[in-house]
Structure 1
């Protein structure tokens, strides 16, 4: 049985100043909305955050940025977050940009216990400056180190009391690999079910990677609403 939290404040209480955290999701899809809001309310500072991006100005990780709670971001792109761009340009936020596939593999490697790997992505670009480049079969590859975190905050559609998780469609982006790469993983789930309710073959993240869960409803905001005019 895993810890089942009764409040989001309780779920993030272990995250202290200076912690390194991974936060699942892509844009606003699959982000642990309520856990992020609880972090904002906690006013924890000097965080290093590993996530694909940093939300938008008024939602998701963008709220932590606005509150000046993040010292460093490890991400694959800035996106349309003007506050993210502003803090990087003014030098108040440290940014480590990583190609998206490389970021995903660095996280996966961290969860798998692989300390480093070689990839062709980034060779011949500023990303490779100061890095180790080796040739294999007459092709150059850049050494990249794995990523791990003190805490991983992930979002799943369904979880059970053993910590087994199922993600919904594209929410199955960075969430599964981050769940494996955190020393402590807390899952925000839309439905918390009893043991045995999830078929073993349907499990995306086994409960061995999850230390705590909390059930909650999400707003599921749309990052960029695109519609078409009626004919």
Structure 2
């Protein structure tokens, strides 16, 4: 019996109350768009399926109508366990209005938990999330009043604390891949990442659920070599062919993004994203570049001849661009949590894509590498941080954001460099001549007495003996057992007016406060 069917037929396989596992990343990365839209169409026409529980590790959508936005209908979804929420403002609104139960999990934990579910093990036992919002003592992953379940519990083993993330059955997996042969074997050959496709399919298969795979092409029997098959036919229940499937929402196909091209860079789309990327190379020098320059100094100050590095989204991706512009990629091993090594990272809506990558692993394995201590240094952003060294990126202004891979990365890197601006909303700065001047202070202070939510735990960082820096355009801080210490100030900045008066707590002041290199604030010269 053939496993191939239409998207509408596949959507009919989902029952009321099912737990549905999703995969994908912002910009359409490995997103089963055709399947998502088919489920939405069925619900709008028939009001079924209803009361679904959705789980996804990373952010999925375009902040408009795609991705998780397809499921953001009252009645369609009852509960969402999301790694990252910002790509679906509609789902964020449902959470804010208490129309759904809203939860978050670290992105890596989600991928690894799916694997544990598929293996029939009693959940995921890990140190990742201790002291953060995912710790039941700090909220248990609950993001609104409707959310009542603790997704994890604290356990003791060999005299140490761990979290056990609790397993649950996955009734349906909506998976994206490149091709399927007539037998139902699945290949990822033309995809820009692997993400958690295997873990998700495994969880549904061994939960007695259904594995539904969207592919771009149907191949004859025997067309796939054994080593090209990433999900075997034995795991697959249904296959939907979407000949219009793209590498991203705007890029039809690019072999440089799928790792099939190792020579000259190709980028076949002349989309708005491409134009924006090209224009980004010519933006005026700003505080973003200044922070990136200062942060880049830390990259080769880890004690490793060739450190393993992860770049987060936001200001940290400016660090990646700076290293690429300097031609220094050969001095490090570049990774991103999606499972990709090497290459040239894309940013903005295409964060998670890399051109000419040197390796692509599945996400669960990548996060295993991080959790085990393989990451030497990470550059991450921050929404706010407090006097205890805690950082918040998961809930800002009462809005559910989610951590993505932030918790897994920040908690496990040997050295963490948080990068961002000292204040927000209405800030006016001037730089480019070797100094930083504040023309107008911001209305929102980001260095607060207590963060709204703990996405990174400063006390846990001390326990794990991490080196932790917090770099801003005005001053640099570090985590110490005595608290946050200010050890460096930007040239042109008034310490009291521009830094201390813009903080809600008083930091320790290092003896012999130093001044940042003026070259960090000089336009040109990269």
TM over 0.5: yes
Q: What secondary structure sits across from 1:17 in the alignment?
A: coil
Structure 1 unaligned segments of length 5 or more: list them.
none
1:198 alignment partner in structure 2? 224
- How far apart in 1 are the matches of 2:92 and 2:85? 7
* Contact 2:178/2:186 (<8 A) preserved: yes
Cα–Cα, structure 1 residues 120 and 60, in superposed 2: closer, same or farther, change >3 Å?
same
Instruction: Tell whether 2:24 aligns with 1:25.
Output: yes
1:49 pairs, out of 49, 54, 79, with: 54
1:84 Cα deviation from its structure 2 partner: 2.0
1:169 Cα deviation from its structure 2 partner: 4.0
2:135 alignment partner in structure 1? 128
1:63 Cα deviation from its structure 2 partner: 1.9
- How far apart in 1 are the matches of 2:237 and 2:56? 20
Cα–Cα, structure 1 residues 92 and 222, in superposed 2: closer, same or farther, change >3 Å?
farther
1:96 alignment partner in structure 2? 103
Structure 2 unaligned segments of length 5 or more: list them.
138-151, 252-271, 283-526
Q: How does 1:40-189 map to 2 (within 5 A)?
A: 40-43=40-43, 44=48, 45-52=50-57, 53-55=59-61, 56-66=63-73, 69-129=76-136, 131-136=152-157, 138-167=159-188, 168-182=190-204, 183-189=209-215
Cα–Cα, structure 1 residues 174 and 140, in superposed 2: closer, same or farther, change >3 Å?
same
With CA pairs under 8 Å and 6+ residues apart, which has the higher RCO, 1 or 2? 1
Cα–Cα, structure 1 residues 103 and 222, in superposed 2: closer, same or farther, change >3 Å?
farther
> RMSD of the TM alignment (CA)?
2.3
1:218 pairs, out of 245, 249, 252, with: 245
Q: Which range is displaced more, 108-117 or 135-144?
A: 135-144
Q: What secondary structure sits across from 2:65 in the alignment?
A: coil
Q: Which range is displaced more, 114-123 or 59-68?
A: 59-68
* Contact 1:26/1:174 (<8 A) preserved: no
- How far apart in 2 are the matches of 1:58 and 1:68? 18
Cα–Cα, structure 1 residues 78 and 193, in superposed 2: closer, same or farther, change >3 Å?
same
- How far apart in 1 are the matches of 2:199 and 2:177? 13
- How far apart in 2 are the matches of 1:193 and 1:99? 36
1:123 Cα deviation from its structure 2 partner: 1.0
1:68 Cα deviation from its structure 2 partner: 5.1
User: TM-score, normalized by length of structure 1?
Assistant: 0.89
- Higher gyration radius (CA): 2
- How far apart in 1 are the matches of 2:91 and 2:73? 9
- How far apart in 1 are the matches of 2:220 and 2:109? 36
- How far apart in 2 are the matches of 1:163 and 1:174? 19
Q: Which range is displaced more, 197-206 or 68-77?
A: 68-77
1:64 Cα deviation from its structure 2 partner: 1.8
What is the total number of aligned residue pairs between the two structures?
A: 230
